[in-house]
């Protein structure tokens, strides 16, 4: 789901991808992620629809633009900024961390184009897994440990949520409610508002005007609740902007959020 492919074609955050093997990684261990500095300059993190109810309390939820839009949690309004990651790499207290980040450096991937079977893989570039003396063992007697089983289960749940998200986005695009967004934020430091574009949002007026079978269907399948979670979350934009101002990380009135 939520890829921001680079030259490698890998999802956002991932630099490489290696299948986890009981033979090649028999003695390897998993170290806890000590820092989230690696997302310190990531301003938008992919979300699944399962996360909307809790994510709306912490982040503005918007949508990427393009042919295959995905939901995004805005961690800041400017590229290269994340107001939820502190200077020491710690994460803001009592704040939800999107599942996309929590599954890292693992993910499920298809190793063969002619098969639907998915294998647990990991990104070795972060150094979280290795042949270390300390950490949680990945295998014992050639069998996955509970730590690996738990992560496999989490990644499987994520994939199911990702499929639900893909279906939701397909339905949302078909409704015609999703359109290019624009936010204006007035701050006392400037006589002119700060303008933000380059993301998708639901047209609230069109949503209110829905009637009949379409409205009934969206209410019954839960889509309506998700759309209002998105709209309610936009009230957090000014709070995110305020944090950026405090950190001195708001460029001088430049339209940003380009192609999130």
How many angstroms separate the CA atoms of 190 and 93, rounded? 31
Evaluate whether 200 touches 63 at the Cβ level (below 8 Å): yes
pTM, two decimal places:
0.89
Bridge partner list, 62: 72
Evaluate whether 9 touches 2 at the Cβ level (below 8 Å): no
At 63-109, the pLDDT tens digits run 999 889 999 999 999 999 999 999 999 999 999 999 999 999 999 99
DSSP state of 245: H
Written as six digits, the tokens of 92 are 């803001």
pLDDT score for 1: 29
Confidence of residue 121 (pLDDT cuts 50, 70, 90): very high
Residue 114 has pLDDT above 80, yes or no: no
Q: Mean pLDDT score of the chain, rounded to an integer?
A: 90
Render the burial of 185-216: b for 16+ CB within 10 Å, e for the rest: beeeeeeeebebebbbbbeeeebeebeeeeee
Distance of CA 129 to CAs 31, 132, 135, Å?
Answer: 6, 8, 9
Residue 256 has pLDDT above 80, yes or no: no
Listed residue (104, 101, 134) closest to 122, CA to CA: 104
Distance of CA 70 to CAs 47, 64, 149, Å?
Answer: 8, 5, 28
Residue 6 has pLDDT above 50, yes or no: no
Q: Nearest 5 degrees, angle CA 181-CA 216-CA 207?
A: 20
């Amino acid at each position: 789901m939520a890829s921001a492919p680079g030259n490698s074609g890998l999802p956002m955050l991932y630099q490489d991808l290696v299948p986890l093997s009981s033979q090649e990684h028999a003695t390897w261990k998993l170290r806890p992620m000590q820092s989230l500095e690696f997302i310190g300059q990531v301003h938008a993190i992919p979300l699944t629809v399962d996360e909307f109810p809790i994510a709306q309390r912490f982040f503005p939820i918007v949508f990427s633009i393009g042919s295959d839009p995905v939901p995004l949690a805005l961690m800041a309004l400017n590229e290269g900024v994340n107001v939820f990651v502190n200077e020491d790499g710690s994460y803001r207290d009592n704040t939800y961390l999107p599942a996309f980040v929590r599954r890292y450096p693992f993910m499920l991937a298809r190793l063969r184009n002619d098969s639907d079977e998915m294998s647990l893989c990991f990104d070795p570039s972060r150094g979280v897994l290795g042949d270390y003396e300390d950490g949680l063992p990945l295998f014992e007697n050639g069998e996955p440990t509970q730590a690996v089983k738990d992560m496999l289960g989490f990644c499987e749940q994520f994939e199911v949520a990702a499929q639900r998200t893909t279906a939701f986005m397909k339905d949302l695009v078909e409704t015609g409610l999703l359109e290019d967004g624009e936010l204006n934020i007035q701050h006392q430091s400037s006589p002119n508002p700060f303008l933000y574009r380059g993301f998708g949002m639901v047209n609230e007026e069109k949503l209110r005007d829905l009637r009949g079978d379409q409205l009934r269907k969206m209410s019954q399948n839960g889509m309506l609740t998700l759309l209002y979670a998105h709209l309610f979350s936009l009230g957090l934009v000014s709070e995110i902007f305020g944090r950026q101002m405090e950190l001195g990380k708001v460029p001088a009135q430049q339209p940003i959020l380009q192609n999130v």
